[in-house]
Structure formats: C-alpha cells, structure tokens
C-alpha cells in the first residue's frame, strides 16, 4: 500500500526536534555535572591550600585560597561551556577582553585591596596607633579594604587610600615611651641662660601627669643672635592628641616666668 510522500515530513521534523532536545538536555546535564565537580574540587583544594599557606600568615592564606578558587571556577566554566558546544577559542578571547576591561575599570580598587593585604600581613601599624602619612597625622581608628581611617588631633576624620599607604613613608609614632614634642621659645639675650633653662625645666616638671613615665624635660639651644636666643623645650608625652594643648600651656607659663626674670634682671 502506498502512502503519500508528504505524510512523512511532519514525522521527520518531530523526530529531529526530539533528538535536538535530547542532545541539548544531555549537554546541559554534562554542564551541570562539570559545575558540581568544579564546586567540590574548588572546596577541597581551597581547604588544602589554606592549611598549607596558613602556616605563614592568615591573610596570605585567604588571598591564596581566593585565587585558587577563582582559577578552578574559571577552568570549570570554560570546560563546561565547551561541552555545550561553544567554541573555546572565542570564549577565551571574550574572557580575556572582559578581564582586561574589568582590570582597567577597577585598578584603583585592586591597588587598595592589595595594599590592605600588605598592611594586614606586615602590620606596620594597628588600630589605636598614632601614625604620620605624608602631611596627615592622627590615630588609626579603622582599616578597611579601601582606606585607612585616621582621627587627627583636631578630631577630624581623614580617609587615606590604602594604595597611598604603601607608596608613602609611614611613621608610627606610637612607642612605649610616648612621643616627643618640641616647643620653640625665643628669649631676650640679656636674660641669664641658666635661669631660663631652670624655669623651663620647672614648667616641664609641673606637667608631669602628661609626660611619659621615666621621661624628663630637656632644653636645647637652637640658635642665637645679638638680640635673642631661640630654645626648644623637649617633652615626651603620653597622648599626642594633647600636643597643642600642652604646648599652649607651656608658653603661657613660660611668659609669666620670663617676665619675672626680666623684672629681677
């Protein structure tokens, strides 16, 4: 019995659609299996790498583990997409171009993040320390992935990008003996220098509550001419935030003492 030729066309199309659907489902299943294997491998290798690198530094360990995990996922995704039927060469080009554009867009963020890791690893300072970064001086109140936050002696909050921290000279002024301040003073050449020095040392001793333990006031002559002598009273204080207040108090008391010395001269 003969059948019309057009009768087999819908059946052929239906069979082709089913085979395409089955092939797509198989590819998707393989892709899902590859993603599952990638997840397991990333977790296991991440833990192993973290244990090995963690012997040196916790922050280095986190960084190495993060990099390893990203690398494994990138490889897994590329292999999975290749199984679906996408051209790996095209995928690699797209990933490379996307990576370059992304790096250019977030280079400052990456620089600050890398600097944060360096600060966390080598610890040139910690929260609570008094540090000098360029022209900024203050107490470290926070260290984030992007910034190091200082509170200045004027109670101003300064946000310094971590990238600048690693590129600048950082002076940590926090020591067990406090920090030293120099208070410049100018006195008349006619005053007896030994009396002036005695008066300034006495003023420093009167402020002993603000001085670091076992420290003593010192007086240095910085320059002199025919009319005046320039001196500096050196004090090692506990709290850098009080530096200006202490300097102001020293100058007030010094004026009273020097005025008395002039009257008795």
First-to-last alpha carbon distance for the chain, in angstroms, is: 142
Alpha-carbon distance 198 to 208, whole Å? 16
pLDDT higher for 90 or 151? 151
Q: What is the mean pLDDT of residues 135-160?
A: 87
Predicted TM-score of the model (pTM): 0.47
For residue 202, pLDDT over 90 is answered with: yes
Q: Report the Cα 115 to chain-centroid distance in Å.
A: 6
CATH of domain 125-172: 2.30.30.60
Q: Residue 94: which residues within 8 A CB-CB, separation 6 or more?
A: none
Alpha-carbon distance 143 to 151, whole Å? 12
Alpha-carbon distance 64 to 21, whole Å? 42
Nearest-10 crossing angle of helices 243-264, 193-206: 140
Alpha-carbon distance 210 to 245, whole Å? 11
What residue spans of 85-217 are helical by DSSP H?
A: 88-105, 107-122, 162-167, 193-206
Provide the pLDDT for residue 67: 74
Cα-Cα-Cα-Cα dihedral sign, residues 134, 161, 241, 171: negative
φ, ψ at 227 (rounded to 5°): -105, -30
Q: What is the mean pLDDT of residues 36-53?
A: 81
CB 195 within 8 Å of CB 261:
yes
Q: Name the nearest CA neighbour of 196 among 126, 107, 122, 260.
A: 260
Name which CATH class applies to 15-105. Answer: mainly alpha
Q: How many CB atoms lie within 10 A of CB 30?
A: 14
Alpha-carbon distance 102 to 95, whole Å? 10
Q: How many CB atoms lie within 10 A of CB 109?
A: 13
The domain locations on the chain are 15-105, 125-172, 179-264
For residue 14, pLDDT over 60 is answered with: no
**Structure token digits, residue 98:** 């996307």
To the nearest whole number, what is the mean pLDDT of the chain?
Answer: 79
Provide the pLDDT for residue 3: 47
Provide the pLDDT for residue 8: 46
Alpha-carbon distance 52 to 61, whole Å? 8
Name which CATH class applies to 179-264. Answer: alpha beta
For residue 159, pLDDT over 80 is answered with: yes
For residue 161, pLDDT over 60 is answered with: yes
């Amino acid at each position: 019995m003969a059948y019309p030729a057009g009768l087999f066309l819908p059946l052929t199309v239906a069979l082709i659609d089913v085979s395409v659907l089955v092939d797509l489902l198989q590819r998707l299943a393989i892709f899902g299996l590859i993603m599952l294997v990638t997840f397991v491998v990333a977790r296991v290798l991440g833990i192993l790498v973290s244990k090995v690198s963690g012997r040196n530094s916790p922050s280095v360990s986190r960084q190495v583990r993060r990099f390893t995990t990203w690398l494994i996922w990138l490889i897994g995704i590329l292999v999975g997409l290749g199984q679906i039927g996408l051209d790996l060469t095209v995928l690699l080009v797209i990933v490379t171009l996307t990576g370059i554009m992304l790096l250019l867009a977030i280079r400052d963020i990456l620089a600050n993040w890398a600097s944060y890791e360096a600060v966390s690893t080598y610890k040139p300072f910690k929260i609570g320390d008094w540090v000098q970064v360029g022209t900024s001086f203050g107490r470290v109140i926070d260290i984030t992935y992007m910034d190091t936050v200082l509170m200045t002696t004027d109670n101003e909050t300064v946000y310094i990008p971590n990238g600048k921290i690693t590129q600048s000279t950082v002076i940590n002024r926090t020591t067990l003996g406090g920090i030293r301040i120099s208070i410049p003073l100018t006195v008349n050449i006619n005053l007896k220098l030994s009396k002036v020095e005695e008066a300034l040392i006495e003023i420093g001793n009167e402020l002993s509550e603000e001085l670091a333990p076992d420290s003593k006031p010192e007086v240095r002559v910085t320059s002199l001419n025919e009319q005046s002598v320039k001196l500096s009273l050196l004090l090692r204080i506990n709290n850098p935030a009080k530096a200006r207040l202490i300097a102001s108090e020293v100058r007030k008391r010094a004026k009273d003492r020097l005025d008395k010395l002039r009257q008795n001269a």
